[in-house]
Amino acid sequence: MKVSDIYKNGGKSLSFEIFPPKKDAELNNIDDTLDVLCELRPDFISVTFGAGGSCNCNKTIELARKIKDRYHVEPVVHLTCLHYNKKEIDEFAGVLKEAGIENILALRGDIRADIPEKDDFSYASDMVSYLKGKYDFCILGACYPETHPESENVVDEIKHLKKKVNSGTEVLLSQLFFDNNLFYDFKERCSIADIDVPIIPGIMPVVKATQIKRMVSMCHASFPERFQKIVDRYESNKEALFDAGMSYALSQIIDLLVSDTDGIHLYTMNNPQIARRICEGIRNIV
């Protein structure tokens, strides 16, 4: 199933992001996580992609295959392009096609000093055009309610996003954020620019103090005062931070749902209890 079909006739999605475990041995433990996540019947599960690996030893594809074949849930495979050439992207596409995987989150990937860039793709939109010209995948793309860290201004950022959508991106998944107003403002900018594909907000319940610091440096997400107060108060109390972080995320999600958002994409951090608590919290909310 193509993810874009979900939104036809006003449908909404609930989806999860997971990442492949770093060590091969842990790949088996992911089954316990998938057992819970898939029992919650998400519309799709997206699997992150680490740049620099080859197609044959790619854990992302292995995990996506498992999600599809064993759990019968639709996988979305993240694929970055900055460190690959067309031949390598063709190789990935071929493996995905063979596995019956129909959805790709097409990403540029981060600029990294340790992996040389290749010449074929400079931006995600380059890979979107390439894939759309050759294959029949449903293409999703990334977007940034607080703008991408490399962007100089919001106007250019929206122009580039419009180009990515015009190249064939059918659904946008957002970077995480803690202030819904930033997402609503971003959606308004998209609407002014006639970007009319579903824009799915990415929500990460923050339940660990170490995670908070990493999030700030990685994603440049700003903290509203209400959230900052929770962090300051419960940073050193694991259980309290878990409860408060979950409640905060739930209040964000409910506000998004009553504001006619097209869906919710949950950054699970491979913690099935997070997904379970969120699903319980919105069980009767549509």
Residues that bind ligand FAD (CB under 6 A): 48-49, 51, 78, 80, 107-110, 123-125, 142, 148, 150-151, 157, 160, 163-164, 173, 175, 202
| Residue 147 vs 230, nearer CB to ligand FAD | 147
For the chain, the maximum distance between any two Cα atoms, rounded to a whole number of angstroms, is 53
- The active-site residue, picked from 17, 74, 102, 146, is 17
150 in active site: no
**CA 116, CA 235: separation in Å to the nearest integer?**
38
Q: Which among 5, 13, 19 has a CA at the least distance from the CA of 268?
A: 19
| Residue 73 vs 77, nearer CB to ligand FAD | 77
Q: Least distance (Å) from ligand FAD to the CB of residue 208?
A: 20
| Residue 2 vs 148, nearer CB to ligand FAD | 148
**CA 79, CA 97: separation in Å to the nearest integer?**
14
Q: Least distance (Å) from ligand FAD to the CB of residue 214?
A: 14
Q: Least distance (Å) from ligand FAD to the CB of residue 257?
A: 19
Q: How far apart are the first and last CA of the chain?
A: 22
In order, the DSSP letters of 73-112 are --EEEEEE-TT--HHHHHHHHHHHHHTT--EEEEE-----
Q: Least distance (Å) from ligand FAD to the CB of residue 133?
A: 17
Q: Which residues are catalytic?
A: 17
